[in-house]
Structure 1
């Protein structure tokens, strides 16, 4: 069983956990622009996805994680988001082995692993700052760009308009977006628009209405985007 709740790791973060299941359980993780710190008998990092990640949880495996909002992962993991795009890697491939072992022992012994993971996130944010990874080291500037790009992506604003709003050329904005989100503003908009439409459909909104409210040209446009990004028909996700 999968469950989640808000986390105080960073504003907008989500703590999630998956209880052990028998037998092995297939899963499909849809792209959402986020990065995750995960515990499963060790510490893992999930980078921002451009397509659905499909796999199978081993029988008896339990997971705990912190899902970081789009653009906040670089300030935790200390490297540009595009270097982890579509990847799942051990934390010890990013940070020193001794440090990761100490953190893993702390999480393993914690009565609430989600809270232990959140504390790691807060510690690393204090150490790195938002602007540390490929954003010219200016944390305040990086956070301004992050917020305006997200606002533009959610509002369907064109890349040129967003670039003007943050005072950058389109090429400069693309570079900043790759560092913060893992991909450019157009891809981020596609991902977030699909997530919005699926939330509406999941809440019982008819697909045609959900498509219009999320900013698609029509229902077939939504269906094409879902199949490309999620790898399955809309009807399978809505069922």
Structure 2
């Protein structure tokens, strides 16, 4: 009952995470902010659909179709589909037409619809055929490497590749990490100390904006309005 979500890491540098879920007797969820764009497929009442979902700069309530199955590939920061610029997808999505259980059309070619177990093979083909590309500057900046270009160029390329500023990515990641820690039983005051918040009100504002929950509500999950996929982001050097 509710929204059952399963996810896993990926060995591909182009992929942040692979996930699948199923809804049962739930009409809405709290969609947690995420800096990543996703390719999502879902089936509801025999109809299969797909869309490219852009990054989410803040948490928001989203409808959930009843008895639907979802599968998604969350792409690494800096990765993009050049024909669908991620900078124009923040807080929105781009539907993919002509999808069936067997095939999906991408840039004029029919592809087998991927699933949870073969997502990497699908992405490898996307990379080979130039449907997915990556700006190497973005992971370098996130790892703390200073590129040999001006700060203005770094900012421009980072936003073009991710749709968000480095500061926004850092804040979203920190809030998601804080939410997971609180769900695991870490006291709010300790989270403040460990993650570098100024104080508990600062943590509270961050959680409300990016996760849509207070620390108290995170400690007591709401089955009528579950959270979307929530996991600890991979460690990054603060920007």
TM-score range, shorter chain: 0.7 to 0.9
1:102 corresponds to: 110
- Could you tell me the TM-score, scaled by structure 1's length? 0.75
Matched residue of 1:31: which SS? coil
Q: Which of 18, 22, 27 is 1:25 aligned to?
A: 27
Deviation per CA, 1:189-238: give whole Å up to 9, x if none. 11111122222222221111112211211221111111122333232223
Q: Is the 8 A contact 1:197 1:210 kept in 2?
A: yes
More helix by share: 1
Q: Is the 8 A contact 1:27 1:54 kept in 2?
A: yes
2:45 equivalent to 1:58:
no
2:77 equivalent to 1:70:
yes
Matched residue of 1:15: which SS? strand
Gap runs ≥5 in structure 2: 43-47, 99-103, 221-239
2:237 corresponds to: none
> Following TM superposition, by how much is the alpha carbon of 1:12 offset from its aligned partner in structure 2, in angstroms?
5.2
2:140 equivalent to 1:148:
yes
2:173 equivalent to 1:166:
no
Q: Is the 8 A contact 1:223 1:234 kept in 2?
A: yes
C-alpha distance in 2, partners of 1:101/1:125? Answer: 14
1:216 corresponds to: 197
> Following TM superposition, by how much is the alpha carbon of 1:32 offset from its aligned partner in structure 2, in angstroms?
2.3
C-alpha distance in 2, partners of 1:27/1:71? Answer: 27
Structure 2 counterparts to residues 177-196 of structure 1, below 5 A: 177-196=158-177
More strand by share: 2
Deviation per CA, 1:48-68: give whole Å up to 9, x if none. 110114212111111011111
Q: Is the 8 A contact 1:33 1:69 kept in 2?
A: no
- Could you tell me the TM-score, scaled by structure 2's length? 0.75
Q: How many residues align?
A: 207
Q: Which of 20, 38, 41 is 1:39 aligned to?
A: 41
**RMSD across aligned positions (CA):** 2.7
2:231 corresponds to: none
Larger RCO (CA within 8 A; separation ≥ 6): 2
Distance 1:100 1:235, change over 3 A: farther
2:227 corresponds to: none
